[in-house]
Structure 1
Amino acid sequence: MTQQSTHIATVKTTYTRAAFLLWALLSLSIFCFSNALHASSIKDLKSQQISEILFNIHAYYVDDLSLQKTPHYTYSNQQVEVLLEQLDPYSKYLNENDLNALFNNTNGQYTGVGIEVKNIDEHITIVDVVKNSPAKDVGILAGDIIVSVNNKSTQAQSLEHVAALIKDPSFNTVAISISRKGYQQPLNFAVKRSEINLESATSELLESGAGYLAIHNFSNHTLHEVALHVAALKNDYRTPLKGLVIDLRDNPGGTLQSAVAVSDLFLQSGTIVTTKGRYYDANQAYYAKRGDILKGAPIIVLINENSASAAEILAAALKDNKRATVVGNQSYGKGSVQSLIPLGDGNTALKLTTAKYFTPSGASIEGVGITPDVAIAQATLSQSNKAVIIKNKQNKNTPQLKSEILGDLQLVKAKQLLSMQ
């Protein structure tokens, strides 16, 4: 079974140039973008912007390139194309729409329908529906298979093509036809895009007196959300938690600052992460301050092949400092840090890899990932499946087979390990 995943969203926001510059200087973002800074994205740029791109690559790119070997450089379009092909997949020119999307994601917001889809066995399958989203409101469910979008068939189409259909700006309301188990005919939904506030964390209380905390991404609000969830878990049980499962599976990352701050919640001391690059400010070390929110209660961290960047920073920080046991699959392996550099009037930017990060043990995970302490491979489950296992009961509104209920071997193992401590 092959799987690919994407969130369906379009975004819009506003910001001032001053705020943008401050964010660029203070925040090293580590979002997992898959498109490189290809030459096709700069064909319409003015020569001044191209000169800015070349200067910033010369000054700040993490690796030494041929461009950086001479102080005097004038590049033709063809030479620029050759240079850009040498950059890593995370360095990217951001036009105004791309930049808006990045800021909104960092702030936990986007405008869209609110579904996550994967290509599963050549079917575009909805694997998660965002809480308080238009898709949730009209009754779309995880497990639904998309048959058509705006009367265009999705059969044999790529994930990217279907995402483009759903994001087509010429349609304010998206017509989605789905196939659902138990129904002979497709179900049709009209879903109007709206602004969605994303929860970066959710939690449940385990029957054993331990807690379950799922962190879905690392935004500017994640530290606050995680702290509130842990406090609520403590209050629900009315005694200190006996342990905590931190689920980082399918977490694509987020901001470096957020990952460091959340790691610090659970550590009394030790290195969280270090970054190293060519220019002075890219070389940083982040250390934990005294104060463990769990007061030493055991932690199990769940990761899989889609846990990346900021999620890997948290997992490695807790693992290397002997604060948690990591369970699951080898993680994605994104060990680079990107900085936002404004171009021109600040409506566009260069997202450039300026440093590599290293775990407390001094290892780079780029292209390697984090190796779990307890390796258990499995397919990704929906949040509804996880909720069934967490509570050891079946939701009458989401009937599931016994094999599906027992399918989250990683979560079951995490609960078992906590019960032994």
Structure 2
Amino acid sequence: MTFFLNSLKICALACLFWVSAVSADAKTTSHISMAEVLANIEHFYVDDIDANKLNQHAIESIFKQLDPHSEFLDQTELEALFNVANGRYTGLGIEVEQREKHIVIVAAIENSPAQTAGLTKGDILLKVNDVSVINQPIKQVSQLINQQQKPHVKLTIARNGHEQPLLFKVERKKIDLKSVKGNINSQGIAYLRIINFNNHTLYDVAKELAHLSQIVAGEINGLIIDLRDNPGGILDSAIEVSDLFLESGVIVSTKGRFAEANQEYYAQEGDVLGGAPIIVLINEGSASAAEILAGALQDNQRAQLVGTRSYGKGSVQSLIPLGDGQTALKLTTAKYYTPSGRSIEGSGILPDYPVLQHNFAHNGDFTQPQTETFINAKVHDLQLEKAWQLLEK
């Protein structure tokens, strides 16, 4: 799970939890209502029990049996999810994932408080406000950050190359998640960085491409789409953006156990670039919706991919509202497949041109050689340079 939504698909479904119990001799199986079990404990257990806490523990134990992307969302979490999907939320601006006993920062969102403070990809959270978060689940760490009454949160970080922990004071504030930015040179070669996929990404991409075309007073002659460290977002958004560059063919298909989870999504006629060549940049931080776009363009032979193997998050989560209307399940309901039938779950997408490089800042100024001081050395954006070379051919 991450602080950002990896994939969003709203479904109106009812859900009941049931627990299966197998008898000692394994000859019979009975179905026991979770609600009945909890009610009996609440009424007959020898000591007073906090019913809300008991229910919470029961729910958490169920989700531990599922994949890490499925979870119960309370009212606050559900509201935050919708805010992120709409391109705004209040927080630090970090995307994280659980790696064994550690919470690791996958990305500090551009122009966020976290990036301003100096947090970066690969940092490991050790403490939040002097409270250890080692061996703590992401959900509890998120609550620890959000329950802070003061506007600033103190984070203790372990970083590669530093023997001692680093301390950061990061402000929690409202963040507008800009999903797209671009640039273009005098030859009409455009650069488009898609930072995430939210409800506004299709509009933002189309608007940016139109703006870049106006700058050179003509057609775009080639396009570099930068999906590096893009954590994903909304499934429909990735499909819509893919459709901008495809004349026909399958964009993505999804497969699950219930009928509505089995879908194929097709491109409609009309390529916004009129067939101009496309290079897509990916790396190990390109996940979910970003992989849908990369896979769709690669399999339909519309683009060539440069960089390193993508993250490999190939599942779709659906929101299933619960009876009170204020909580929901975020449940993995399907896996998605690229047009050629590839499932990238756990394996990712391989680039056509593998190019390794050190970390650097995606600043979008691709018209000049990009460098950044990294361990006292100048590091070029080798992946972007390769993309430029391919478009020059």
Provide the TM-score with structure 2 as the length reference: 0.74
Query: Out of 365, 378, 382, which is 1:404 matched to?
Result: 378
Which whole-Å CA distance do the structure 1 matches of 2:105 and 2:330 have between them? 31
Query: Out of 259, 264, 275, which is 2:243 matched to?
Result: 264
Are 2:11 and 1:25 aligned? Answer: yes
Which residue of structure 2 aligns with residue 235 of structure 1?
214
Which residue of structure 2 aligns with residue 107 of structure 1?
86
Does the CA-based 8 Å contact 2:307-2:355 persist in structure 1? yes
Helix, strand or coil at the partner of 2:252:
strand
- 1:276 is displaced (CA, Å) by 1.3
Which whole-Å CA distance do the structure 1 matches of 2:29 and 2:328 have between them? 23
Which segment is superposed worse, 340-349 or 199-208? 199-208
- 1:92 is displaced (CA, Å) by 1.1
Which residue of structure 1 aligns with residue 282 of structure 2?
303
Which whole-Å CA distance do the structure 1 matches of 2:266 and 2:387 have between them? 27
Which residue of structure 2 aligns with residue 37 of structure 1?
none
Helix, strand or coil at the partner of 2:290:
helix
Identity %, equivalent residues: 48
- 1:146 is displaced (CA, Å) by 11
Aligned AA for 1:130?
A: E
Which residue of structure 1 aligns with residue 17 of structure 2?
54
- 1:368 is displaced (CA, Å) by 1.2
Which whole-Å CA distance do the structure 2 matches of 1:360 and 1:54 have between them? 35
1:120-149 deviations in whole A, cap 9, x for unaligned?
A: xx9x99975633x5578xx64577999999
Which residue of structure 1 aligns with residue 195 of structure 2?
216
Does the CA-based 8 Å contact 1:340-1:349 persist in structure 2? yes
- 1:73 is displaced (CA, Å) by 2.7
Which whole-Å CA distance do the structure 1 matches of 2:171 and 2:76 have between them? 20
Are 2:182 and 1:195 aligned? Answer: no
Which whole-Å CA distance do the structure 2 matches of 1:153 and 1:383 have between them? 33
Pair 146,331 (structure 1): closer, same or farther in 2 beyond 3 Å:
closer
Does the CA-based 8 Å contact 1:126-1:142 persist in structure 2? no
Higher helix share: 1
Query: Out of 87, 97, 112, which is 2:66 matched to?
Result: 87
- 1:97 is displaced (CA, Å) by 2.1
Correspondences of 1:220-369 after superposition (within 5 Å): 220-369=199-348
- 1:172 is displaced (CA, Å) by 2.4
Which residue of structure 2 aligns with residue 74 of structure 1?
32
Pair 409,117 (structure 1): closer, same or farther in 2 beyond 3 Å:
farther
Aligned AA for 1:204?
A: N
Which whole-Å CA distance do the structure 2 matches of 1:305 and 1:89 have between them? 18
Does the CA-based 8 Å contact 1:118-1:159 persist in structure 2? no
Query: Out of 115, 122, 130, which is 2:110 matched to?
Result: 130
Aligned AA for 2:391?
A: L
Aligned positions, number: 351
Q: What residue ranges of structure 1 are gaps of 5+ in the alignment?
A: 10-22, 29-50, 59-65, 179-186
RMSD, aligned α-carbons? 4.4
Which whole-Å CA distance do the structure 2 matches of 1:206 and 1:193 have between them? 37
Provide the TM-score with structure 1 as the length reference: 0.69
